[in-house]
Amino acid sequence: MARVHTVPQILQILFFSTFIICSLSSLVSANRELNEDNWKDILEGEWMVEFYAPWCPACNALAAAWKELSTIATRKNLGVKTAAVDVTQSPGLSGRFMVTALPTIFHVKDGSFRQYKGPRDVESMLSFVETRRWQQTEPVPGWKAPDSLQMTLVAEFFKLSQALRSVHTMLMETYGLPTWGSYLIFAVATIFIGAILGLVLVCIIDLLYPPRRSDKVLVSQAQLDKAKEDARKAEEEELINEDIVDDNETAGSDAEKNSASDSSEGGGAAAGSGGDAREVRKRRPRKAD
């Protein structure tokens, strides 16, 4: 009989323990940790997202209020979920959301992002959600939306900078390089990568816009010498023709001079007489004194 009474007690204990474990698991999973892989889950539904860093004192002070907000929101079935992003583990998300100060809180409603700038106590954050005061806040414009193409590029640059910083730290701590040595390696790598990118860009441009082929014909040296000889002969013939023309012009001018001199001697007297006659006719008789 003792065994019969102990079986229901064991079942009750198992039931209550299972209920407690489920409740605790729901409370623990209420505040979700976001990273580069699962951050798009906040594009559906209503979320409150916190960006923090473990070394940030203000973030550590907000931790208790944030957990309480998550617990109350789950208990009241407000339909809002809470999430957190560690910027040291997910630098791309900090660039995607343009986080410039810590802690930063965003309210997300069906892919519409609004930054929460109110007080950081539990009552104020609950009121922001319950009374829909987020409707009074202007959403983030489309070109700055975290899911836009340009912010995706910004996120990639943030991740690249974090990777370069990790490499810099490794070179200094693991290999014992001085700071200037690490910077020198980065400078050489930058020049090398820039040269490769420039070469690739030139190849792409040549493929898209190929240069026009010239219609020049290759001429042998013999043909070139022959062309020079022909040009020299043509120049000599031209000079000879010019000399002949000059001789003819000189002979013609001498003949014209001779004929002109003869005619001037013959007609000079007549012209002189005629001129004297004209002068005589034009003279007036002098008056008597």
Which residues participate in catalysis according to the annotation?
56, 59
Please provide residue 117's backbone torsions phi and psi, each rounded to the nearest 5 degrees: -120, 15
Element (H, E) at 118: none
Q: How many CB atoms lie within 10 A of CB 78?
A: 14
* Cis omega (within 30 of 0) for bond into 54: no
Q: How far apart are CA 168 and CA 288, in angstroms?
A: 131
Distance CA 273, CA 253 (A): 30
Residues 219 and 50: their CA atoms lie apart, in Å, by 77
Among residues 91, 101, 90, 97, which one has the least CA distance to residue 144? 97
